Amino acid sequence: MNTFWKTVTVLISFIAAAQCLNCRQCPLGIFGKCLFGKDVTCNNGTEQCYTGEAQFNATGSLTLHTRGCLDSDLCGKTLTGSILGAAYTSNFKCCNTDQCNGASSVQISLSVALSAAMLASLWGTWEL
């Protein structure tokens, strides 16, 4: 009987883990570029993938972007606050399917990108 309950517990934990979302995480995005982005799995079933914006009221033109997992209670909310005396307004848009807040991106080093560009330019000069 003890083995039965262990088996049930393991199955429940697998089902719970399978229901967690995979989301794109971006702790800081500025000017359309994500810094330090990666893919993450949300911790529990109450979290959803989100995209968020924080706009500083004084500048109006500086908007920071974030992505990741967020508790469902904050979805669709607009929050205000201040950092070092600068007031900001932030809002969060949520979705509930894997990678719905942005596809994962392939990041390559500058040297690899330059090498590929040079090879492509050489390839175009070799005509038969």
Q: Tokens for 91?
A: 């809002």
Residue of 24, 97, 90 lying closest to 56 (CA atoms)? 90
What φ, ψ does residue 39 adopt, rounded to 5°? -95, 140
The reported pLDDT for the residue numbered 59 is 65
- Could you give phi then psi for residue 99, rounded to 5 degrees? 60, 25
Provide the domain count of the chain.
1
Residue 45 belongs to domain spanning = 2-125
User: What is the H or E stretch that residue 16 is in?
Assistant: helix 2-18
| C-alpha dihedral, 43 to 45 to 50 to 55, nearest 10° | -80
Which CATH number do you get for residue 80?
A: 2.10.60.10
Residue 24's closest CA among 96, 104, 97, 93? 104
For the stretch 11-64, pLDDT in tens is 444 444 446 889 999 998 988 788 889 999 999 888 999 999 998 877 667 788
